[in-house]
Amino acid sequence: MTSGEFRRRLVAVGNGMAAGRMLEELFARDPNGFDVTLFGSEPRVNYDRIMLSPVLAREKTYQDIVIHGDDWYARHGVRLIAGDRVVSIDRDAKTVTSASGLVVAYDVLVLATGSDPFVIPVPGANLPGVVTFRDLDDVEKMLAAADRGGSAVVIGGGLLGLEAAAGLARNGMTTSVVHLMPILMERQLDQNAAYLLKKAIEKRGIAVLTAANTTAILGTDKAEAVKLEDGRTLAADLVVMAVGIRPSAALARAAGLEVKRGILVDDHLATSDPAIFALGECVEHRGACYGLVAPLYEMAKVLAAGLAGASTEGYRGSVTATKLKVTGVDLFSAGDFSEGDEKDEVVLRDPARGVYKRAILRDDRLVGAVLYGDTADGAWYFDLIKTGADVSKIRDTLIYGQAFQGGGAALDPVAAVAALSDEAEICGCNGICKGAIVSAIQSKGLTTLDDVRAVTKASASCGQCTSKVEAVLAATLGATYAGAGRKAMCKCTDLTHDEVRGFIASKNLKSVPAVMQELGWKTSCGCASCRPALNYYLLAAWPGEYRDDPQSRFINERVHANIQKDGTFSVVPRMWGGLTTVQELRTIADVAERYDVRTIKVTGGQRIDLLGIRKEDLPAVWAELNAAGMVSGAAYAKGLRTVKTCVGSEWCRFGTQDSTGLGVKLERLMCGSWTPAKVKLAVSGCPRNCAEATVKDIGVICVESGYDIHVAGAAGLHVRATDLLGHVDTEEEAMEVCAAVLQAYREQATYLERVYKWVDKVGLEQLRALIMDDVEARRALYGRFLLSQRAVQRDPWAERAAGRELHEFMPLARLDAIPAPATKE
């Protein structure tokens, strides 16, 4: 457009997701065709309302869900009038008037007024403490109530109601859900899936009352209880109304536009006034009103194209899909699953895995699908429903998902995404189809996941579609995709260990559920591979702040003993540097006799192993050992296990340095530090190497001039001699170097990666440059190591176990009683 051409005045009423997407699409097609004024009733910029549930669960903040910041409005020349609701439309004068009296003229008016929450008309509905769940103000009220504690009752067992209940329960409120219908989410689920969902919600400590009719909210100055039709009352400091929504059409109706349930629009989103258009939850199109985001985005695309002068087929209505945003619950529903004789169905049930799938067919077409427990194929089923593809040839394998199609040959994730149509929805939160992502990759030269997120917004909200977006990248770019050949952390995610560690830091993730939610875990609670890894990465990233998750540890770590093949346990008290005392030996003998220990074994790590202890005796055994000042030797740990020593210069005629004393200092310094895999040290008093330091993860060889530091040895399944890292002159330097190596290993290695594999990966020369050549870098690593150790000693396991049964989680062993390591000024 040239500088002298006419720019039409576009006024949009409603600063929500529908108007925001319409303007994005419009600016992409015609960036200079309109002067835009945008009214919003909230005093905020546009934010992602479907992510309010994670905000309520304190998994995200408001800033995390902002879609258009102030800079976006400025960049596109949008005049944003926030917090000032439009109260009237003068169709003859073509103006709108706001509550503050502001009058703005338009050539084109777009109504995107959304919906209003339905509040059931019962006594007490207007009491303080009764809230709805539609915007950020509602969330802030609920969070304030949760901070005060008490009980919450959520009226409504649909999507929003269940997400609200999960968030309030997670914030510590005693929560109940009251639902009028016999099953939860009756519009989206059948009875079987609803049954599984009810069980999953109840496992979270939330009471679920179905077929329950609310007749009153009791209280004088505020809500105090909810009364049901059957006479029951539920205590309630907070009542959340989540029983449904209605199109917000009052403004249009007052202006004389045609309105039924919503503002009536045609296929081009025009109202009964050709200068006024409407889209989103406020409209009624072909008799349907929509309350999900995907239809809003489809409408936005059609309307923007029309306003920009493009010819379109118009909006033909939407097939909708539903996913529940409750951490740990995998649920997908799409299409028509209502009962009917003319329909055929295929059902899969796997009670052991908690999986239920139902595919509904009519005339050899998939018309509906319900998935619970395994929703990986949701996009594929949804694509089949929308395209109306003939599935007669794959009917027998349809229920097993996309991987089992094509003659029974399993498809990998990339091939599966490649087989989807361009119209297949990849990102439900932002309504992004496969074709849009492929087009952006090809036209803009995108090569990374972050590139795709920035340009298309795919996977930028809840993150659950990340693996699908990466598969689109891989399918489009082929071998040139930077992610090709990556090894995923486990079956629960397509992210690598390094990527997960990076996201934990960059996204400020501080709990296992937060990691799984934000990074789009494909399973509800992880698995035995990823949970211990996540627990370690969080411990390493947030020392002193993250609370160790005992349920992410194996039985050995929980009870501080190694389980044996007969079900009994092996207990190994720590002997610092291999030293012991008469009192410790006497205590060990007394414990062995009292608890009928069948075998007493001296280990290769210079300790005594008590084998054959019954699980029920472990608390008492550790109580006696702790009372004598003996702590766990952590023979089970992904952490420091032993520091083997020889007698050194104190006794041996060949000893050059006090190897025993240094070994004890190193063990006390490093005790309790968690590492990616087990770590063993040794200190030999002379080059004769009686402590076998050259096959340890870190070894110290004492020589006349000081200490040679070795790394990356192994003497287990793989035998590997150490490499010489460098030489230091003093004992203090030796301790600093060893701790700095351990800290670098903690920060860089992936879970279960032994020190020698990590050194091979990073390179000995790079490690030598970091530790031996760069003194400042070494001291920084040493400082971070001491910080993490102080966190361990401030928060000993004995304190963490407060309130728990000892057999569930016993104290590591009085870490607070271990003398703090000496540090240099």
Higher-confidence residue: 667 or 487? 667
- Report the distance separating Cα 821 and Cα 667, nearest Å: 10
Query: Can you give the CATH number for the domain in which 264 is found?
Result: 3.50.50.60
What is the pTM for the complete model shown? 0.57
Strand 46-47 and strand 34-40: pairing? unpaired
DSSP for residue 819: P
376 neighbors 412 (Cβ within 8 angstroms):
no
Please work out, in degrees rounded to the nearest 5, the angle formed at the alpha carbon of residue 290 by the alpha carbons of 288 and 292.
155
Q: Are residues 214 and 157 in the same domain?
A: yes
Helix, strand, coil percent values for the chain (each to nearest 5): 35, 20, 40
Angstrom CA distances, 628 to 154, 581, 583, 729, 813, stand at 53, 11, 8, 37, 11
Q: Is residue 212 part of a domain?
A: yes
Angstrom CA distances, 669 to 157, 517, 707, 792, stand at 54, 36, 18, 11
What residues does 105 pair with on adjacent strands?
A: 95
Angstrom CA distances, 231 to 107, 174, 212, 351, stand at 57, 20, 10, 36
Point out the domain boundary residue: 307, 332, 357. Answer: 307
Q: Are residues 546 and 618 in the same domain?
A: no
Structure tokens at 743: 């800290």
Q: Is residue 456 part of a domain?
A: no
Higher-confidence residue: 408 or 483? 483
- Helix and strand numbers (H, E) in the chain are 26, 40
Q: Which of 740, 797, 807, 816 is nearest to 772 (CA)?
A: 740
669 neighbors 823 (Cβ within 8 angstroms):
no
Q: Are residues 544 and 559 in the same domain?
A: no
Q: Is the pLDDT of residue 406 over 80?
A: no
- Return the H-helix or E-strand segment holding 699: strand 698-703
> pLDDT band at 807, cuts 50/70/90?
very low
Residue type, 647: V
32-69 CB burial, b ≥16 within 10 A, e <16: ebbebbbbbbbebbbbbbbbbbbbbbebbeeebbebbe
- Return the H-helix or E-strand segment holding 23: helix 17-29
pLDDT of residue 820: 35
pLDDT of residue 821: 35
pLDDT of residue 464: 67
Q: Is residue 201 part of a domain?
A: yes
Q: Which of 608, 561, 620, 621 is nearest to 581 (CA)?
A: 608
Q: Judge residue 628's burial from the number of C-beta atoms within 10 Å of its C-beta, 0-12 exposed, 13-18 middle, 19 or more buried.
A: middle
> pLDDT band at 341, cuts 50/70/90?
low
pLDDT of residue 799: 34
Higher-confidence residue: 777 or 450? 777
Alpha helices in 215-364 (DSSP H): 250-254, 293-307
Structure tokens at 126: 């207007």
Point out the domain boundary residue: 616, 636, 656. Answer: 636
> pLDDT band at 819, cuts 50/70/90?
very low
710 neighbors 694 (Cβ within 8 angstroms):
yes
Number of residues that make up the chain: 825
Q: Are residues 515 and 591 in the same domain?
A: no
Q: Are residues 167 and 231 in the same domain?
A: yes
Backbone angles phi, psi at 792, to 5 degrees: -65, -45
pLDDT of residue 181: 93
Q: Are residues 647 and 775 in the same domain?
A: yes
Q: Is the pLDDT of residue 407 over 50?
A: no
Q: Are residues 544 and 577 in the same domain?
A: no
Query: Can you give the CATH number for the domain in which 584 is found?
Result: 3.90.480.10
Q: Are residues 670 and 590 in the same domain?
A: no
Q: Is the pLDDT of residue 99 over 70?
A: yes
Q: Is residue 503 part of a domain?
A: yes
Q: Are residues 150 and 227 in the same domain?
A: yes
- Report the distance separating Cα 434 and Cα 256, nearest Å: 41
Higher-confidence residue: 226 or 472? 226
pLDDT for 724-775, tens place per residue?
999 999 999 999 999 999 999 998 898 889 999 999 888 898 899 999 998 9
31 neighbors 68 (Cβ within 8 angstroms):
no
15 neighbors 80 (Cβ within 8 angstroms):
yes
Strand 245-247 and strand 115-117: pairing? antiparallel
Q: Which of 361, 416, 364 is nearest to 392 (CA)?
A: 364
Q: Is residue 274 part of a domain?
A: yes
The tally of domains found in the chain comes to: 5
pLDDT of residue 811: 34
pLDDT of residue 808: 30
Q: Are residues 651 and 776 in the same domain?
A: yes
Domain that includes residue 698, residue range: 643-793
pLDDT for 457-481, tens place per residue?
887 776 667 778 888 888 888 867 7
Angstrom CA distances, 82 to 78, 105, 349, 602, stand at 12, 17, 50, 74
pLDDT of residue 159: 87
Q: Is the pLDDT of residue 816 over 70?
A: no
pLDDT for 260-304, tens place per residue?
999 999 999 999 999 999 999 999 999 999 988 889 999 999 999
Backbone angles phi, psi at 481, to 5 degrees: -70, 130
Q: Is residue 492 part of a domain?
A: no
> pLDDT band at 800, cuts 50/70/90?
very low
771 neighbors 740 (Cβ within 8 angstroms):
yes
- Report the distance separating Cα 622 and Cα 797, nearest Å: 13
Q: Are residues 176 and 75 in the same domain?
A: no
- Report the distance separating Cα 686 and Cα 706, nearest Å: 10
pLDDT of residue 804: 30
Q: Is the pLDDT of residue 812 over 50?
A: no
> pLDDT band at 325, cuts 50/70/90?
low
What is the three-class DSSP state of 354? coil
Distance in angstroms between the alpha carbons of the first and the last residue of the chain = 69
pLDDT of residue 195: 87
Long-range contacts of 531-536 (CB under 8 A, 24+ apart): 532/638, 532/751, 533/489, 533/490, 533/497, 533/500, 533/750, 533/751, 533/752, 534/500, 536/638, 536/674, 536/676, 536/751
Point out the domain boundary residue: 509, 530, 552. Answer: 552
pLDDT of residue 544: 75
pLDDT of residue 794: 42
pLDDT for 519-560, tens place per residue?
878 777 788 888 889 989 998 888 878 887 777 877 788 788
Mean pLDDT confidence for 155-169? 92
pLDDT for 38-96, tens place per residue?
999 999 999 999 889 889 988 788 988 999 999 999 999 999 999 999 999 999 999 99
What residues does 78 pair with on adjacent strands?
A: none
- Report the distance separating Cα 130 and Cα 161, nearest Å: 14
Alpha-carbon torsion, ordered 652, 655, 657, 660, to 10 deg: -40
Q: Is the pLDDT of residue 813 over 60?
A: no
Q: Is the pLDDT of residue 485 over 70?
A: no
- pLDDT averaged over the chain? 86
Q: Is residue 630 part of a domain?
A: yes
Strand 640-645 and strand 679-684: pairing? parallel
* Residues ≥6 apart with Cβ < 8 Å to 405: 394, 397, 411
Mean pLDDT confidence for 390-414? 73
Q: Are residues 651 and 625 in the same domain?
A: no
Which range has highest mean pLDDT (97-111, 489-503, 520-534, 807-821)? 97-111
Sequential DSSP letters for 563-588? E-TTS-EEE-B--GGG---HHHHHHH
Structure tokens at 380: 């594929």
Q: Is the pLDDT of residue 562 over 90?
A: no
Q: Is residue 422 part of a domain?
A: no
